[in-house]
Structures are given as structure tokens and as C-alpha cells.
Amino acid sequence: MNELLRTILFLPPQATAEATAVDHLHYFVILTTMCGAALVTLFAAGFVIRYRQRAEPDEHHREAPGPTTPGWLETAFITGMFSLFILWWVLGYHEYVRLRVPPRDAMTVYVTAKQWMWKFSYPEAGAQEIATLIVPAGRPVKLVMTSRDVIHSFYVPDFRIKQDVVPGRYTTVWFNVIAPGRHEVLCTQYCGTYHSTMRAEIIALAAPEWDRFIGRASPTARIAGQPYTMAETPGNWQMFAPAQQLDLVRLGEQAAARLGCLRCHSVDGSRHIGPTFAGLYLSRVPLENGEEVVGDEAYITESMMDPLAKVHQGFEPVMPSYLGLISPAETAAIIEYVKALSPVPPAPDQGRGSVAPRPSGTPPPGEMGQPPRELGTRPPDTRPGFVLPSEQGTPIPGHPIQPPPQGRIEIRP
């Protein structure tokens, strides 16, 4: 019956279990409305036949008034229609929640939209791909998406998913492909001259082929102009890759240090000018207005782009906006760095905005053991792999907070 209805309604294949559930709701709504329309048509035909216009009778042969509709029938009809609406609403809301909340074990893929292309980055596989998203079949995949220019829309007909991709923010969607195969990706938000050419392809691989892809892709990253080439059979991959290694966690640590994030946010659970990064991801974050939010990708991104929108309870709103100063790739890398930090027991609260006591001889968090820095400068970092600009730090180009010409500004509790 499912295939018959799908064929009659000209629907694309159902590549995920979620697509099947959406189609079943579609069938229920369509069949119910068609039955209702057929019933109304029959009643209308009956009324036309029963009460069709006739020759005007004389006053001695006028028909008596017909029976009126009983009140219980009207009440039953109105109640039934309202109950049907509520039933559809409940079923639709259930499917909406199911499509919006990914499983905790879902594999994360970062998606960047740009006129007129889709770019995919795999933290797990350590690879980047343009116009081709490679995923394992039978495993949930979570897409964290943003745009570099205008609003786009990520639409996969076979999955029954469609999500707008907004510049400066992260939106999410997830799916679980049932079997290996290829599926088309379209942009359904008009985004410019070559909007119709903004297409991509999702290739779902079986477990052995996915393991082979992971094994070949993990050592290196690929850039535009160096894509995989694929034969007719999935899994027959040839890779042309540069020697640069891709590690989003490491890149996120470097970006956080370069942009000055670690001057205000600790990574060991201790209190500092801003809330600690340790254990922030997916935690319950209390806000100044008394509400709580989940520390997911959307909240972390919003905190970087519009830090005054949701102020963490117990901390002063002193963080500047990084909108326009940080690229989508750096934003994704910082998020992966925050996700990689394990939760640690918080240090005792010493008051609003104060720094928790630390053992003697231990450098304060985020300052690398250096004296207070001027606002708008990069702190030096003595960890291996970093290039130190200078002992006192260097100004961050374009940052809204810059050091004064003379003297220094220090943040005191």
C-alpha cells in the first residue's frame, strides 16, 4: 500500500525511516481530505437532485417545509472536525520533534553554504568535501550548517528534510540513511544568479566502504580543486590530497588562543571573567533573566556573534561581538574544541565575576601565567606548535576593543 500511494502521489523514494513516517502522515491527511471531499460531493449531488428547480406550483399544492437538521448532528460534526484537527496537530508535532532532535550518538558534519556551492567538513573523518557528502548507511548523521553570504536552504527530497541555512548562525538537521545509495541535494531558497546550479550529492556507503573511506581520509584534508574521484561502484575512491592535516579540535584551540577567548574563559572548570569552556557543551546554562538554555552549537555560535542576547547568570556582559571577525571555519573549530573539553567539578564561587583561588604557583586560567593583558591583544602562548608574536601580545586586526595608545586597561574584580 505504501508503494502504491507513493507512486500515485509522485513522491520520491523513501531513503530514511523518518521519510517513511512523514509520508504516512501525508497519506493520512490526503486520504482523509479526499474522503471528506467525496462525501461533500455526494451530498451536493443529492441536494441538486432532491431540490432542483421545478415549475412554480399553485397555492393549493405548495409543499410543506422540510425537516431541519437536528442539533446533535451539528454538534457531532463540529466536534469531529475539531478533533481531527487536534489529531493532525499532535501527529505533526511528534514528527517535528523527531526530526529536530538528533540521537546523541549521531556523527557530526559541518556544512558551509556559499554562492553557489556546498562544502562539507568531517571532524571524525578528518576530511573536507565540496558538493559531495559521504555518510555511512545505518548511522544517524547530524548536520551543523551555516552560510557565508546569503540565506540558502538545504533540501533532500529522498529524506523529506528541508532546513534554511542562515549567515552568522548555525542550524541543525539530521537523518539516518537506510541503505547505500546516492541522493540529490538542492537549494530551495533563491540565492542569486546561479541558484539553480547550487546542487550537491549525498552518497551513503556500506560499513566496509565507510571504513575504507575513513582510513584513507583521516590523515589529510582536501581543499577546493582536489576532490575525490569515484567510479561507478561506491567505495572505489582515489584521493588527491595536500599534506596539511585537519584536526578541528586542534584548530579550534589555536583559534581560541589567537582570538583571545582563553583570556576570559578557562578550560579546567575554574571561574574566570567568563564561564568555563569545560563541560559547557549540552549543559544547562542559566541566564540572567531566570531562564535556561542548552549549550549546543546554536547557543555557542550566538554567544560569539551576539553575546548580549543570552547572558550567562553570574557573569558581567563584557564580551564583544565577533560577528564579521571570525570565519565559519573558525567558529566550527572552536565549537569542536569546546565539545572536546570534558566536564570537571567547578571551583568554589568567590563572587560575581571573580577568579576562583588556585594552588600556589599555578598560572591563572587563560593567561598562560602572564601578567594582565591589554584589551584587543593576543596573549602569548608557550604550548608546542604555537608561534609567539611577542611577550606582550599583538593587536588583533579589526577587533572592536583595542589597547589605548598609552598605558593599559586591566580588568579587576
Q: Which residue has the cell 469531529?
A: 80
Residues 209 and 120 in one domain: yes
pLDDT confidence bin for 226, thresholds 50/70/90: very low
Does any domain span residue 369? no
Does any domain span residue 216? yes
d(CA 193, CA 191): 7
The SS3 of residue 80 is helix
**Which amino acid, residue 92?**
G
- Picking from 238, 261, 277, the residue at the C-terminal end of a domain is 238
Q: What is the pLDDT of residue 92?
A: 86
Alpha helices (runs of H) in 190-293, residue ranges in sequence order: 207-217, 248-258
Does any domain span residue 64? no
Does any domain span residue 353? no
**Which amino acid, residue 21?**
A
Residue 286 sits in a domain whose CATH number is 1.10.760.10
d(CA 161, CA 145): 13
Least confident of 162-171, 206-215, 309-318: 206-215
Alpha helices (runs of H) in 197-283, residue ranges in sequence order: 207-217, 248-258
Please state the pTM of the whole predicted model: 0.55
Residues 93 and 6 in one domain: yes
Overall average pLDDT of the 29-58 stretch: 83
Q: Which residue has the cell 540565506?
A: 151
Q: Tell which residue, 257, 254, 373, 256, has the closest CA to residue 303.
A: 256
Distance between start and end Cα atoms, the chain: 69
Residues 222 and 113 in one domain: yes
Q: What is the pLDDT of residue 357?
A: 41
Q: What is the pLDDT of residue 222?
A: 39
Per-residue pLDDT at 368 exceeds 50: no
Does any domain span residue 269? yes
Q: Over the chain, what is the mean pLDDT?
A: 74
Overall average pLDDT of the 175-180 stretch: 91
Residues 289 and 336 in one domain: yes
Residues 188 and 265 in one domain: no
Q: What is the pLDDT of residue 184?
A: 92
Per-residue pLDDT at 42 exceeds 90: yes
Q: Which residue has the cell 608546542?
A: 384
Per-residue pLDDT at 190 exceeds 80: yes
Residues 118 and 233 in one domain: yes
d(CA 30, CA 260): 56
Residues 117 and 233 in one domain: yes
Least confident of 46-50, 105-109, 119-123, 343-347: 343-347
- Picking from 238, 273, 301, the residue at the C-terminal end of a domain is 238
Residues 193 and 289 in one domain: no
Residue 130 sits in a domain whose CATH number is 2.60.40.420
d(CA 392, CA 387): 13
Per-residue three-class SS string for 148-163:
CCCCEEEEECCCCEEE
Residues 212 and 272 in one domain: no
Q: How many CA atoms lie within 13 A of 397 on its CB side?
A: 0
Q: Tell which residue, 72, 71, 66, 74, has the closest CA to residue 47.
A: 66
3-state helix, strand, coil in the chain (%, to 5): 30, 20, 50
**Structure confidence by residue, pLDDT tens digits, 309-360:** 888 988 988 888 888 788 777 888 888 888 888 666 554 544 434 434 443 4
Overall average pLDDT of the 246-268 stretch: 84
Residues 179 and 230 in one domain: yes
Does any domain span residue 367? no
Residues 150 and 270 in one domain: no
Strands 199-205 and 132-136 come out as: parallel
Under 8 Å between Cβ of 335 and 297: yes
**Which amino acid, residue 220?**
T
**Which amino acid, residue 26?**
H
- Picking from 340, 361, 395, the residue at the C-terminal end of a domain is 340
Q: What is the pLDDT of residue 401?
A: 44
Write out the H or E segment, with its range, that includes residue 119: strand 117-122
Overall average pLDDT of the 92-97 stretch: 86
Dihedral angle sign, alpha carbons of residues 82, 84, 87, 92: negative
Q: What is the pLDDT of residue 23?
A: 85
Write out the H or E segment, with its range, that includes residue 86: helix 71-100
Edge-to-edge strand ranges of the sheet holding 107-114: 127-130, 117-122, 107-114, 141-147, 171-175
Does any domain span residue 120? yes
d(CA 269, CA 344): 5
- Give residue 298's domain range: 248-340
Strands 117-122 and 171-175 come out as: unpaired
Strands 284-286 and 292-294 come out as: antiparallel
Considering its fold, how many domains does the chain have in total?
3
C-alpha cell at 103: 540521537
Give the E-state strand segments of 215-332 in sequence order: 229-230, 237-238, 284-286, 292-294
Residues 191 and 272 in one domain: no
Does any domain span residue 159? yes
Between residues 247 and 280, the one the model is more confident about: 280
